[in-house]
Every structure is written in C-alpha cells, then in structure tokens.
DNA sequence: GTAACGTATCACCCGATGATGACATCAACG
DNA sequence: CGTTGATGTCATCATCGGGTGATACGTTAC
C-alpha cells in the first residue's frame, strides 16, 4: 500500500528517529542551544562514534542543521519536523476524544 | 512543572510504541471508532497473531482500553498519552525556535 | 453436549539496528 | 610541514523486536 501524503511519511521518519533514547536525549539537549559532537559525547556518556551515528540519522531525517566552525561542527535543532509531528498527534488525540462510543459491528 | 519524571517515562514508552508502522496504523484506525481484533486484522492485512501482539503492546503502554463484548474485544484509543507526547514535542519545537543562535564554546 | 469462532499466549526464526573499534579526513597550531 | 585533536565513515558483532504457526481459552451457535 502507498501512503497518500508526504506529511505522513515525514512524521513516520521523525517517529522512528525519536524512538531511540540516545537520539531523543540529543534532541532535548539541542533544543536549548547549539552544540557540537564533543559536548554531546560528554553530556550523554556515549562513545564518539555512537554520537556521530546518531547525529547522522538526525541529519538525514532533516531534523538538525550542521554548521562547520573550524574543527568543530555545531548542530542546530530544526523545529518544523517536531512541530509537524506534534500537530499530527494532537489531531489523533482530538479525534479519539471527539469520537462517540461508536463500535463498528462485527 | 508537573511531575516531570512520570511524564517523561510515559512519553518515552509512547514514542517507542508509535515507532512501529503497524501499531501506528492501528492507532490511526482506532482514533475514529472502536474496533475489535477482526476489524483490524482485515483492515491492516496483517495476521491475527500480529495484530494481537500489537494490541498487547498498546494495552500495556496504557494507550488503549479494552471492552469485552461477548466473543469480541473492542479497543478504544485513549487520547491522553498522545496529547501528552504532542505537548512535549511542541515544547521542544518552541524551545528550538526561541533559542537564540547561542553556541556553547568548546 | 459438541462444533465453530474470536482472541490471547507461547516458542521460534530472522531481519533490522545500535554499539564498537579501526581508519580516513580536515582544520588549527607549533 | 608535521602533529594533534575533532569528526565522519566503514566493517563487524550482538542484541532486540516483530512476524508466524501451533496451541489454549472462552463464548456463541447448533
């Protein structure tokens, strides 16, 4: 089956990305300020390669932007993908709240 | 701030649950009306055991309620977990939007 | 009663994916 | 230039998690 809208595909990707605890921690840290690999490695306690892999996934999903700064590479969190997913989830919650106690008969 | 620990744990669980495409489809279907296993099996094309497993995960995560109805078991989507996660994601997006171009020095 | 149906559980297989170490790359600094 | 430190990439491995079939349980129908 094909999905009909692009928004669904994007939110699917965002959900899969956020399902990993380390990536979620990184997203939370980047929500406050721009950081580079060394900060995230120290803050999370994970190995440098592990952090770099997580950042690669975030980058390919379009959730972060990179800004090379000398030897360092700063990462910035993009708000749009998160906001889009939040809206979709809100719509689902609203639909569930507004839906009557209708049961489709078997 | 509310109890931040419990909310975080719950949202973590919700994210992990929603990372699976089948579970996500089931959530979308349940957002409109209450359904039982047979409906979901037919609608998703997945096997009965597969759907039952997905529903088990949703149940244990506190995202759906079950209502036995004779031989059937109707499932109802609970809006709160979804709304809570949506709020958290919105907060992250807002924080990323409002945060200045501050880079923590290395 | 017995049969048929819906659902849940168990045991197993297998593909996906995250962690890790070795290596390559690139920029600053002497 | 050559070294050092930060970062990305590749190959490998182990673990996790979802799909599936057999089976069990409970309920309705005959």
The strand C neighbours among B residues 6-35, by Cβ under 7 Å, are none
Residue A98 covered by a domain: no
Domain count, chain B: 1
Residues in chain A: 106
The string of pLDDT tens digits covering residues A58-96 is 999 999 999 999 999 999 999 999 999 999 999 999 999
Q: List the single best residue of B27, B29, B31 to mutate versus A (max A Cβ within 10 A).
A: B31
Distance CA B88, CA B7 (A): 9
Residue B97 covered by a domain: no
CATH of the domain at B68: 1.10.10.10
> What is the 3-class SS of chain A, one letter each residue?
CCCCCHHHHHHHHHHHHHCCHHHHHHHHHHCCCEEEHHHHHHHHCCCHHHHHHHHHHHHHCCCEEEEEECCEEEEEECHHHHHHHHHHHHHHHHHHHHCCCCECCC
Residue B102 covered by a domain: no
Residue A64 covered by a domain: yes
Q: Which domain holds residue A48?
A: 6-88
Residues 43-102 of A with CB under 8 A from B: 69, 72, 74, 76-80, 82-83, 85-87, 89-90, 92-97, 99, 101-102
Mean pLDDT of chain A: 92
What pLDDT shows up at residue A6? 52
Q: Is the CB of A100 under 7 A from strand C?
A: no
Taking CB atoms and an 8 Å limit, are B104 and A15 in contact across chains?
Answer: no
Q: What's the mean pLDDT in A29-50?
A: 97
Of residues B16, B93, B101, nearest to A82 (C-beta)? B93
What pLDDT shows up at residue A1? 42
The string of pLDDT tens digits covering residues B12-43 is 999 999 999 999 999 999 999 999 999 999 99
Percent share of chain A, pLDDT over 90: 86
């Amino acid at each position: 089956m094909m999905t009909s809208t692009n928004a669904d595909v994007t939110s699917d990707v965002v959900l899969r990305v956020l399902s990993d605890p380390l990536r979620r921690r990184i997203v939370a840290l980047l929500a406050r300020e721009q950081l580079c690999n060394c900060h995230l490695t120290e803050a999370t306690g994970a190995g440098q390669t592990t952090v770099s892999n997580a950042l690669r996934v975030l980058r390919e999903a379009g959730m972060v932007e990179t800004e090379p700064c000398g030897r360092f590479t700063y990462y910035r969190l993009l708000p749009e993908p998160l906001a889009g997913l939040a809206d979709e989830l809100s719509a689902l919650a609203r639909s569930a709240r507004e839906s009557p106690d209708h049961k489709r008969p078997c």
